[in-house]
A and B are shown apart, each in its own frame.
Chain A
Amino acid sequence: MLENIRLSFQGIWAHKMRSFLTMLGIIIGIAAIIAIVSTIKGTNDQIKENLIGSGDNIVEVKLFEGEWNYVSGDSMTPENMPMINKTIKEELLSVDEITAVSAYRMGSMYDGIGYQGNMINGATIIGVDEEYFSVMGYRLVSGRLFDSHDRTQFTKAVIIDSNTASSMFGSDSPIGKNIEIRGDVYVIAGVVEETNEYKPKVENINDWYTYYYDDAGSKLFVTDVVWPNLFGFDEPYNVVVKPVNTEAMTNAGKKATEILNAYMPVNEDGSESIYKYKSEDLLEKAKELQDLSESTSKQLIWIASISLLVGGIGVMNIMLVSVTERTREIGLKKALGARKKVILAQFLTEAAVLTSLGGILGVGVGVGLAFLISDIAAVPVAISGSAIAISVAFSMVIGVIFGLIPSVKAANLNPIDALRYE
């Protein structure tokens, strides 16, 4: 066998050009498949990372008014919304998939916010509980977070995000400065910054609308006890839960939604309220996008397989030529006592070595191509070891399949006819 492989390489080397051209179909087919598989895998990894991040994840459970995210200050306040109090939070925490819970109230304000008469273009004002900053992954940049004093005394303290800090105060420290909100004066207690570990990346305007629209602009945080001074006591809460791990996101969101919706009021006529809590299932969204990209890639792989088929036929053709060319050699070998299966093995090995070599070269070209594509199209590559192994094995199988007819033909040659062949 080893002898056969050695001889095959000799044969291939003796006809370099011809062997290369024969392998070309296989090389192109395998290269295309490797490039497609690698970029698809890379794209899928990126979809997942973009949507759900690679670090700790959270699931937002927001109140919806029909199809739309309810934002306090934008529309009429719904009535009889449940207070997300300790009892409900503990009920949420009792779910296996949930490790932390935070409830907050959020409202938009388009005017009346400013510093020393300089008004800014509105802001999102978030009333936060004790867990909010840690669950959402905020980091304290300067100053302090809210403490129990702020809650018991209803302190008019505000925490701002670092973007707002730099746009309003430049390089000056904002700590201790006063911000005017609708005529009320709030003292800046601290500056926080998103650690961004779990946040989806924004690559285009659609992503921005999908994930950040309601986070846009300045963010001001006050305690949830002070927040109703600005928007009213009846405004509903949003909830954010932290799942035990990424895989648990879907279930954590679903269960949290069920629990919260059980507290929702029913309309007077008994019909369901148009207000409902919904979780953003990023995992599912990622899967949908991945499925889409995978189904496209499957079609591409079918097309690439045609190249492999054509390559295989090329191999069959060249093997038939090779058998004809070496008819005398086959006759001689038989006259010296080579059995049919020896001849068969020799030609099958040669075909398999030829296509395997094509497969290996194809993998090389495909990996190169994948990196080239990633360079040009800015999609990441993920080289899949199993795809490489399967490709090489598959090209070997192509050699055996398409080499079979020529090899059987060689093995069945009559020794004297073969020896006499001119």
Chain B
Amino acid sequence: MLLELKNIYKNYNQGNMEVPVLKDINLTVEEGEYIAIMGPSGSGKSTLMNIIGCIDTPTSGEYLLDGSVINNYKDKELSEIRNKKIGFVFQNFNLLPRLSAMDNVALPLQYAKVGKKQRREMCKKVIAMVGLEDRMNFKPTQLSGGQKQRVAIARAMVNNPRILLADEPTGALDSKSGKQVMDLFDKLHEEGVTIIMITHADEIASRAKRVIKIIDGELLEESKQTQEVTENE
């Protein structure tokens, strides 16, 4: 078991009111799974993913990663998890505009204190994986949307994380670039990376092996595999 969420709640304070966004979420993810999270807008998908990615904290409930409870981890341990175990891909790419593609990709390695030479090697490898060797020194403004998202994926993967989290990775892309990104995800899945992505599009969700629905902060499991099994019977 790679990660496990037990009775996760998330509330936001709106004035005097406590607005519940996630209600009693229970979820286990095994190593190497490929999961799509779907659900209406505002249902709490991003909130859930941010909690999984350790950039947000639940109001209550337990989060186990690799067998240890991380709820009370401090800055040092949390940064290490964000840096080494998790790769994050955002809908709006979130590249630093002043840095070249290469330097953007190198950021996580810098925080992991990887030496300069090795950094270059590792960056080149992932940039080659996303097929942007010839755009390595371009600034984000000189790249297309699809290229930017591939740089972002390279950055997410550069530290060889076990989990790739993607919040609507194709949301800002046309269908062709979207397909390229999804092909990359498939490849990473084949290599054994655990992938959790949020999407609104059924054909993108169809690539995942497991689909989770969130409606109004509650989780509904909707497993393709089990559907297929039932069909076969």
Contacts and interface: CB of A to CB of B under 8 A. Distances in A.
Interface of A: 3, 10, 14, 328-329, 331-340, 342, 415-416, 419
A337 B98 contact: no
B94 A337 contact: no
A335 B111 contact: no
Contact of A339 (B53, B75, B98): B75
B98 A336 contact: no
B84 A337 contact: yes
B44 interface: no
B55 A337 contact: no
B45 to A, nearest CB: 14
B176 interface: no
Contacts, number: 53
A337 B82 contact: yes
A335 B55 contact: yes
B100 interface: no
A14 to B, nearest CB: 7
B111 A337 contact: yes
Given A3-B110, A335-B55, A416-B56, 19 more contacts: A10-B98, A328-B94, A329-B96, A334-B55, A335-B88, A336-B82, A336-B83, A336-B88, A336-B155, A337-B83, A337-B108, A337-B112, A337-B159, A338-B79, A339-B76, A339-B111, A340-B79, A415-B82, A416-B50
A336 B107 contact: yes
B188 to A, nearest CB: 18
Nearest to A335: B55
B43 to A, nearest CB: 17
A331 B159 CA distance: 19
B75 A14 contact: no
Contact of A334 (B79, B110, B112, B159): B79
Tell me what chain A mostly uses at the interface: helix, strand, loop, or mixed: helix
Contact of A416 (B55, B98, B110, B155): B55
Contact of A335 (B75, B82, B96, B98): B82
B82 A334 contact: yes
Contacts of A14: 98
9 contacts: A329-B96, A332-B96, A334-B55, A335-B53, A337-B79, A337-B111, A338-B107, A342-B111, A416-B55
B26 to A, nearest CB: 22
Nearest to A326: B96
B74 to A, nearest CB: 10
Contacts of A338: 79, 107, 111
A339 B79 contact: yes
Given A335-B88, A337-B83, A415 B111 contact: no
A10 B100 CA distance: 13
Contacts of A342: 111
A334 B55 CA distance: 8
Contacts of A329: 96
A333 B104 CA distance: 10
A340 B108 contact: no
B80 interface: yes
B112 A332 contact: no
A335 B82 CA distance: 6
A14 B75 CA distance: 31
A338 B79 CA distance: 6
A336 B76 CA distance: 13
A108 to B, nearest CB: 83
Interface string B147-162: 0000000010001000
Nearest to B82: A337
Contacts of B83: 336-337
Contacts of A415: 55-56, 82
Contacts of A334: 55, 79, 82
B87 to A, nearest CB: 9
